[in-house]
Amino acid sequence: MASFSCRRALLVLEVLFVTFLSVSGFLPETGRLAGDDIIEVNRSQREFDYFALSFQWPGTYCRGTRHCCSKNACCRGSNAPTHFTIHGLWPDYNDGSWPSCCYRSDFNEKEISTLMDGLEKYWPSLSCGSPSSCHGGKGSFWGHEWEKHGKCTSPVFHDEYNYFLTTLNIYLKHNVTPVIFSSTIDVGCPFGYVASNSDKYPLGGIVTAIQNAFHINPEVVCKKGAIDEIRICFYRDFKPRDCVGSKDVTSKKSCPKYVSLPEYTPLDGEAMVLKMPSDRDVL
């Protein structure tokens, strides 16, 4: 019965993904340019080599929350994210460095207005602060992502809409949440891993589950022994590849051999605990 429930949950996720793509009418294609207007990248920063898609575990980040506001997804009560959310889609170099703030232009949030439901659910802000813009001052959360990272993705992307739309599609296609939480590797129970403030899981089991699902080596980032981020990398045509940092996944500089996936209960005492949805929720 438990394995059937897991398969049913994965089927629901797959259907939602296919529906999302059908509505958007977009899938990344090899060699496809995502915009019509050519914008030259800053000559001081060469074209990037690959993409890193970073998944963030809200339970690790939100447990440090001290102040709440309407834009902070950690403070949404029962509507808080119960899945890995997007931290960013970043252009990187093979030498371990990365470009940022490649050219100056204004971010227009109206260009991504039709994507807001997906962004709020899968790529929300987990803080109340306004991030710094590339050229001084403060900006919006998604404006920061576009200015710092999106503008450096030329010649693949040239506009906000296609950058954010493609990121959502790639996230849904390679979502690590069902992979980890339905995995039985090194756990021995049909429900796989669960969010917990007491249990710890072998890092190797999490890495192996992702390797088996996507046939790549991910990069895992931890904070105080807890999973903070999982990164999956892609060539510029969005074919999966190993991340540059994946070879250090079990080193002392990244994560311990046993890691946690912490739950989070907000300061206001509401029953908002990050956990996988139950069968009733799935139905």
Catalytic residues: 87, 145, 149
Rg (C-alpha) for the chain, rounded Å, is 19
Residues listed for the chain: 283
CA geometry: angle 172, 56, 257, nearest 5 deg? 115
Closest CA to 122 of 171, 71, 76, 89: 171
Longest dimension (CA), the chain: 58
Alpha helices by DSSP H, listed for the chain, are 2-24, 58-62, 116-122, 141-148, 160-173, 176-181, 203-214, 279-282
Cis peptide leading into residue 155 (ω within 30°)? yes
- The b/e string for 39-59 (b: 16+ C-beta within 10 A; e otherwise) is eebeeebeebbbbbbbbbbbb
- Give me the residues paired with residue 51 across strands: 91, 234
Q: How far apart are CA 56 and CA 76, in angstroms?
A: 17
Closest CA to 76 of 65, 86, 84, 87: 65
Q: How far apart are CA 102 and CA 45, in angstroms?
A: 7
Q: What is the DSSP letter of 278?
A: P
194: left (phi over 0), alpha (psi -120 to 50) or beta: beta
